[in-house]
Chains A and B, each alone.
Chain A
Amino acid sequence: MAVPAMFNLRRSSDELPGDPSREDEECNSEDWVSDSCSCSSASSDSDDLKPEWLDSVQKNGELFYLELSEDEEESLLPETPTVNHVRFSENEIIIEEDDYKEGKKYEPKLKRFTKILKSKRLLPKRYNKKNSNDTGPVSILKHQSNQKTGVIVQQRYKDVNVYINPKKLTVTKAKEQLKLLEVLVGIIHQTKWSWRRTGKQGGGERIVVHGLLPGGSAMKTGQIIIGDVLVAVNDVDVTTENIERVLSCIPGPMQVKLTFENAYAMKKEVTQQKQKKAQLNTSDLVKLLWEDEVEDIQQNILNTPHIIMYLTLQLDSETSKEEQEILYHYPMSEASQKLKSVRGIFLTLCDMLENVTGTQVTSSSLLLNGKQIHVAYWKESDKLLLIGLPAKEVPLPQLRNMIEDVAQTLKFMYGSLDSAFCQVENVPRLDHFFNLFFQRALQPTKLHSNASHSAQQYDASSAILLDSFPGVRWLHLPQEIKMELDTALSSLEAADFAELSEDYFDMRRLYTILGSSLFYKGYLICSHLPKDDLIAIAIYCRHYCLLPLAAKQRIGQLVIWREVFPQHHLQQSEDSNTKIFQEPEGRYFLLIVGLRHYMLCVILEAGGCASKAIGNPGPDYIYVDQVKATLHQLEEVDSRIDERLACAPRPCLSSADWFLTGSRDKPESLTTSPILSRLQGTSKVATFPTCRRSLFDYSLKTHKPSPSRSIGGSDNGCEGGEGVGLSPNTTPDAIRKQRESQCSDGSEESGALLKVCKKKSTLPNPFHLGNLKKDLSEKELEIYNTMKLTSGPENTLFHYVALETLQGIFITPTHEEVAQLSGSVHPQLIRNFHQCCLSIRAVFQQTLLEENKKVLNGADRSDSINSVSSLNPVKEHGVLFECSPENWTDQKKVPPVMAYWVVGRLFLHPKPQELYVCFHDSVTEIAIELAFKLFFGLTL
């Protein structure tokens, strides 16, 4: 019974009296229904016939509805401590419970309440996320763009619990107004400020947060944002008039609930549904942040200079207004302000260099407060998009990929950059978009808050490379599963169900389904979309972190609907030949439905065969239901896919640590790692890592260069290293003895391993995408695998990434596989691999650029000087690294050294393909060539 009471209480706090501005908005808000107003959706929720998401549809037809599954929400709620409840009734204070805890822990409790409420259908579904909303790393200074929009928005309230200790108050008699607010709570409010939203009202001004005192309680919560309006303290309404009085009533140290009108929400306007997405991310984020110091991280990102600006190069000289060339910029933090103020440099450079050199500026680097910042340029017609990020966090090649991605995504979402940036109602959406964007760029680990630590690390370190790939992570499935999926998608695409049939309703169908693609846990498992559409969707999902979301959480329900502008459909072919297919002048809509770990993306076309779309149509529930039904149909497949994910038929990977487990932590790792035990079996190989090093350094004379860098040769060089100056400590006798003593154990295990590998050998190859040429490759594989068993060198593959641009997919080891290869060095190796691949890819991209130019200019015009002097075209690039374990404490012994290659190869024909592999130095060139060839031959 207490629960509804609480709810009412909460509601009443929402509906504060004496707040004319808010009432105002309520009257004016046309999109009232679309907002998450508690009253309207509460009633609709009880109606089971309507889909839950219906109320979330925005005025412009867009929908972003996300709901976690029940068990996920449960897991998000930690045990809540008892909380001190203080109610102020005018001047008297009632403390309901004695012990108080830190305010942040309070949050989940509210959440739990709402959950109970929800289960009793007392609360709109969306409510339960409200609390965790806005607690995320929102820019403190977000409010400014709000002023620009001037759109009436729905207000929201948040409760923040702040620990207040009046004893902190020293003798200073608070003469000044609002002094207590500053000293006790840490909120700075300046009455003189003319705040847009500050309306005079009876009994004083609204208390707008103008600043946060460093180290103050308010800042420590990390939930109060500049621009918030403090409306109540422990449910007592406050204004500038009575705040001091109310605060002075606090008798001793305690937890106080502050209710704020949310600055962030105020301007969220109709993008609210989108925010829901952010909430989820941030709720993860918040969990993470709470474990650390909140303000630290928030401060970190704010102190990092980063900026996005959209500038116009056409200046209207007549209406000379301050900053009129800025069409959009984000964020407002102080560190970014400086970058904004030097925009003149970028404008000048863009203009001048284009005049001088005849080519467009792509980037510039500058020093700001001793920090190097890269600024990438993206010029379109007379507008300039700029993104600036610190060089330390984002290397230049990555930044250039990022700006291209941003431009592509915005074009996909809005049609053109102009329509994205120049429409005032888009501003809050863009704010959200770029908030996510900078979060991803500057704190990748925070967003990839995966269940397991290793997967999180893997995500974060691979993001640098994979996030800019023109492709989607692909999981190859066995034929029978694939067929099932294909059938399911095809029947959806056929749109042959009764409700959609034209005869049934005697009207034209609304949309034609152009194609669909199915994701499972972030892996693309089936796609019937053209490559360009697929990539556009992938970039969109990447920006909204949808793929990692589906990977780590069971989605209760996700429905996204929006109009999209797939460039490849919209570009009318110049050729007016009637024989070739002409794209209809239609409009395109993207529908993404997520269920558990599945996500099904569908592109719909209106116009053409289907009826023309009028206005901003929202999602049609028949289509949504059909997509959902398709996903339900695939319910039982997921266990098989999971199985596949767990033991993907890929090349066995090794952990770098297995090669470095010198004398330390040996027994455990040895018994657990099949590779090393195998290495034990052939004692020659066991000593091998150190051998290579010595060989590399000294063994020139004994080791004749032979076309095959065979293991045997190197071992001989090592063991019979007469007079080569082999330093004795590279192969410490102790280690060798230990190894030899374990050989006997190893032999047993190698027997077991033999079986394992045998089993593996029957599975298709990693690089085996389609089942084409199966028989041939199987044969090769047999050889390959038997080679593995005997000499063991090819299981020294550490990591790989294969990009196939024809289908827009890339293949890389699954999270599960990487998680199995735990260790201290291996994660570093993976990070280093991706960083190195980024630079290798930058070289390749230069080649691709030149190739494109050559195609454009015609093959005959060969610029002989340029083609030879610059490093073009590059087809293969490899780097050899050496590493040794960290924190090597044993002073007497030289730490073992392991050498590995990171090699990238670029195939230009028939379509650009890129393959990056990371393997131990001992791999024979035959194995490498075979790997490359298999990939090349089989992905066709």
Chain B
Amino acid sequence: MGEDGAGGTMHLLCLAASSGVPLFCRSSRGGIPTRQQLPFSVIGSLNGVHMFGQNLEVQLNSARTEDTTVVLLVGLEELTNIRNIERLKKELRASYRLIDSFLGDSELIGDLTECVDCVVPPEGSLLQEALSGFAEATSTAFVSLVVSGRVMVATEGWWRLGMPEAVLLPWLLGSLPPQTARDYPVYLPHGSPTVPHRLLTLTLLPGLELCLLCGPRPPLSHLDPQLLERWWQPLLESLRACVPLGPRALPAGFPLHADILGLLLLHLELRRCLLTVEPSGDREPSREQRRRLLRSFYTLVTSTHFPPEPGSQEDKAQQVHMPRACYLVLGPEEPDVGWRLVALQVGPRRLLLLLSPQSPTHGLRSLATQTLHALTPLL
């Protein structure tokens, strides 16, 4: 698999490592899928480099150019025993939308953080109760309510899903065209890579979907309107209030400091995260830019300062000096210009904030500490 981008173009290339046959190649420019493809010679060279290294027991991981372009050569997750490449290629077309959404400018961040994108509903306990009841009634352990690709409430079982699928399932929903109901076969990369499961979705309100992950039973037809009505009709008002929650992630009226322009909260043990770039949405920079800033900052912080997995005892023994917080001041030299970014790690929680230029540098940490403290009950 190769990935590289320059001038805003990003390519994702998937090759069969054994034969070098390209399985698919997706490209996007500035977040929008394009038809532009890598020239065949490049594909050939990439495969050649990989094969050559493999023969000599050297595995090339990445290469960087001046524009920090990255080439990643990741060994293909075993799409085991490729019998018929052409057929495989056709089958892979089904996942193009999902793949493109990774390349594009998603509103979610789970691809980067490997945490499930979540939102916090205003009346969480009510919804949770209803969801549990509904799960019992349908005798399914894996049920969740998803708002535009973000999990709002889910059953215990759903939260226990392994890492790739826990992020991918809501993400898949976000990438699919809206439908009132779906019965979608999915393989779970971690939990069940060979036997497909069924992903049932029911759109309760536009953008708000009820998801069930189950085996052969129950059939979609069992989830009749009466069942739905019984459980969800009483909560209709609450659900309505949740629909616009998607990008905001936090319940309306949650007190955030006025300087905060963007917020990313991660719980690294539960593998859940909250991302919002809505606060003071009328101010510069745009939401898209805020997201990008937070993404870049997350990458910087994780790759250079904070260990990706906190709490591993060996690391602690080795590293007596543990990083706890860090900040970055952007922009030209004039004082009080340029956005501030601050990251804070307390226990399993990591908070990243994008702050307006008015926020004084020395106050960054106390502001972050305060915000994290306020957010702690939510995640």
| B71 x A353 contact (CB < 8 A) | yes
Q: Which residues of B contact A23 (CB under 8 A)?
A: none
Q: When A364-B63, A700-B370 are in contact, do A874 and B326 touch as well, CB less than 8 Å?
A: no
User: Is A709 within 8 A of B292, CB to CB?
Assistant: no
Q: How far is the CB of A727 from chain B (nearest CB, A)?
A: 14
Q: Is the CB of B329 within 8 A of A875?
A: yes
Interchain CB contact under 8 A, B300 and A871: yes
A877 contacts across to B, CB distance below 8 A: 326-329
B79 within 8 A of A: no
> How many positions in chain A have a CB within 8 Å of any CB in the partner chain?
74
B185 on interface, CB distance cutoff 8 Å: no
* Given A345-B53, A349-B49, A696-B369, A908 contacting B63 (CB threshold 8 A): no
Interface residues of A in 813-867 (CB under 8 A from B): 825, 828-829, 832, 836, 839, 842-843, 846, 849, 865
Residue contact B332 to A707, C-beta cutoff 8 Å: no
Scan residues 341-378 of chain A and give those whose CB is less than 8 A from a CB of chain B.
341-342, 344-345, 348-349, 351-369, 372
With contact pairs A345-B52, A356-B42, A871-B297 given, residues A908 and B333 touching in the complex (Cβ less than 8 Å)? yes
Complex Cα distance, B68 from A363, in Å, reads 10
A341 and B330 within 8 A (CB): no
The CB with the most chain A CB atoms within 10 A, among B68, B324, B346, is that of: B324
The stretch of A164-172, A254-262, A879-887 that contacts the partner chain: A879-887
Establish whether residues B52 and A879, one from each chain, have CB atoms under 8 Å apart when the complex forms.
no
Question: What's the minimum C-beta distance from A715 to chain B, rounded to whole angstroms?
Answer: 15
Instruction: Report if B296 contacts A (CB, 8 A).
Output: yes
How distant is the Cα of A707 from the Cα of B305 in the complex, in angstroms?
Answer: 26
Give the interface centre of B62, B66, B297 by most chain A CB atoms within 10 Å. B66
Closest to A885 in B: B320
Given known contacts A341-B56, A368-B58, A879-B323, is B333 in contact with A353 (CB within 8 Å)? no
- Please provide the chain B residues from 339 to 378 with a CB less than 8 Å away from any CB of chain A in the complex: 341, 346, 360-363, 365-367, 369-370, 373-374
Pick out which of these stretches binds chain A: B4-12, B152-160, B170-178, B204-212: B4-12
Interface flag for A899 (CB, 8 Å)? yes
Q: How far is the CB of A834 from chain B (nearest CB, A)?
A: 12
**Using Cβ atoms and an 8 Å threshold, which residues of chain A touch B346?**
696-697
A348 to B5, CA, bound (A): 18
A202 at the interface (CB under 8 A from B): no
B48 at the interface (CB under 8 A from A): yes
Whether a CB of chain A sits under 8 angstroms from the CB of B322 is yes
Taking A356-B42, A705-B363, A705-B366 as known contacts, 9 extra A-B pairs with beta carbons closer than 8 A to each other, sorted by chain A number, are A344-B52, A348-B45, A349-B63, A360-B66, A364-B62, A368-B59, A369-B57, A868-B285, A871-B293
Q: Which of A338, A829, A879, A924 contacts B56 (CB 8 A)?
A: A338
* Distance of A803 Cα from B39 Cα, bound (Å): 46
10 intermolecular pairs with C-beta atoms under 8 Å apart: A338-B58, A363-B63, A366-B60, A368-B57, A703-B366, A709-B365, A829-B321, A849-B66, A873-B332, A908-B333
Please give the distance in Å from A879's CB to the nearest CB on chain B. 4
Interface residue B130 (Cβ < 8 Å from any Cβ of A): no
Pick from A359, A871, A928: contact of B69, CB below 8 A: A359
Complex CA–CA separation, A351 to B362 (angstroms): 47
Residues of chain A with a CB closer than 8 A to B341's CB: 871
Binding site for A on B (CB under 8 A): 4-8, 30, 38-39, 42, 45-46, 48-49, 52-53, 56-69, 71, 285, 289, 292-293, 296-297, 300, 304-305, 320-333, 338, 341, 346, 360-363, 365-367, 369-370, 373-374
B329 contacts A874, C-beta separation under 8 Å:
yes
Quick one: given A353-B69, A883-B322, are A364 and B361 in contact (CB under 8 Å)? no
B37 CB, min distance to chain A CBs, angstroms: 12
List residues of chain B with CB within 8 A of the CB of A697. Answer: 346
Known A-B contacts A356-B6, A707-B362; the reply to A882 vs B322 at CB < 8 A is yes
Q: Is A672 an interface residue (CB 8 A)?
A: no
B365 contacts which chain A residues (CB < 8 A)? 709, 880
Whether a CB of chain B sits under 8 angstroms from the CB of A878 is yes
A317 at the interface (CB under 8 A from B): no
Across-interface contacts of A836 in B (CB, < 8 A): 305
Q: Does A925 contact B (CB under 8 A)?
A: yes
Check if B45 sits within 8 Å of A352, measured CB to CB. yes
* B366→A872 contact, CB < 8 A: no
A846 and B67 CA atoms in complex are apart in Å by 10
Q: Is the CB of A876 within 8 A of B329?
A: yes
Which residues on the A side are within 8 Å of B61 (C-beta)?
Answer: 364-367, 372
Give Cα distance in the complex from A932 to B324, angstroms: 23
Contact among B46, B324, B333 for A696, CB-based, below 8 A: B324
A366 to B73, CA, bound (A): 10
Interface of A is mostly: mixed
Contacts of A339 in B (CB 8 A): 58
Would you list which residues of chain A between 896 and 939 have a CB under 8 Å from chain B? Answer: 899, 907-909, 924-925, 928
User: How many angstroms from the CA of A705 to the CA of B292 in the assembled complex?
Assistant: 28
Give the CA-CA distance A410 to B270 in the complex, in Å: 53
Do A868 and B293 touch across chains, with their CB atoms under 8 A apart? yes
Closest to B6 in A: A357
Closest Cβ–Cβ distance, residue B108 to chain A (whole Å): 16
Contact A881 B331 (CB under 8 A): no
Bound CA span A836–B330, Å: 18
Indicate if the CB atoms of A874 and B53 lie closer than 8 Å: no
The chain A residue with its CB closest to the CB of B62 is A365
B366 & A882 in contact (Cβ 8 Å cutoff): no
- Verify if A708 is at the interface (C-beta below 8 Å from B): yes
Q: Across the interface, do B367 and A705 meet the contact criterion of CB distance under 8 Å?
A: yes
B333 contacts across to A, CB distance below 8 A: 875, 907-909
Contact of B362 among A338, A363, A868, A925 (CB under 8 A): A925
Contact B324 A875 (CB under 8 A): no
B346–chain A nearest beta-carbon distance, Å: 7
The yes or no answer to A870 lying at the interface (CB within 8 A) is: yes
- B292 → A minimal CB distance (Å): 3
**Contact A869–B58 (Cβ < 8 Å):** no
Q: How far is the CA of A701 from the CA of B326 in the complex (A)?
A: 22
Q: How far is the CA of A923 from the CA of B1 in the complex (A)?
A: 49
Q: Is the CB of B65 within 8 A of A357?
A: yes
Known pairs A360-B66, A362-B66, A363-B63; A353 contacts B4 (CB<8 A): yes
Residues of B within 8 Å of A909, CB to CB, are 333
Task: Determine how close the nearest CB of chain A comes to the CB of B27; give it in whole angstroms.
Answer: 12
Closest A residue to B66 by beta carbon equals A359
Is the CB–CB distance between A865 and B8 below 8 Å?
yes
Residue of B nearest to A353 (CB): B65
Output the least CB separation between A917 and chain B (Å).
14
Residues of B within 8 A of A709 (CB): 362-363, 365-366
A871 & B52 in contact (Cβ 8 Å cutoff): no
Q: How far is the CB of A360 from chain B (nearest CB, A)?
A: 6
Cβ contacts A784-820/B at 8 Å (1 or 0 each): 0000000000000000000000000000000000000
Do residues A352 and B64 form an inter-chain contact, with CB atoms below 8 A?
A: no
B58–A884 touching, CB < 8 Å = no
**Complex Cα spacing A349 to B59, Å:** 14
| Contact call B320/A361, Cβ cutoff below 8 A | no
Closest residue of chain A to B344, judged by CB? A880
Whole-angstrom CA separation of A777 from B289 in the bound complex: 42
Specify which chain B residues have a CB less than 8 angstroms from the CB of A907 in the assembled complex. Answer: 333
In the complex formed, the residue of B with least CB distance to A831 is B321
| A842, B305: Cα distance in complex, Å | 12
Chain A 213-233 per-residue mask, 1 if CB under 8 angstroms from chain B, else 0:
000000000000000000000
In the bound complex, do residue B6 and residue A886 qualify as a contact, i.e. CB atoms below 8 Å apart?
no
Cβ contact within 8 Å between B49 and A348:
yes
A883-B321, A909-B333 known; A362-B6 Cβ under 8 A? no
Complex A-B, nearest 10 residue pairs according to Cβ-Cβ distance, in ascending order: A925-B362, A869-B292, A364-B63, A357-B6, A876-B329, A700-B373, A880-B325, A705-B366, A879-B326, A367-B59
Nearest CB in chain A to that of B41: its residue: A352
Assembly CA distance A348 to B304 (angstroms): 29
- Pairwise interchain contact B292-A345, C-beta atoms closer than 8 A: no
Given the contacts A879-B326, A925-B361, A342 and B65 also touching, CB distance less than 8 Å: no
Within 8 Å CB of A345, what residues of B?
49, 52-53, 58, 60
B322 touches A881 (CB 8 A): yes
Using CB atoms, name the residue of chain B closest to A362. Answer: B64
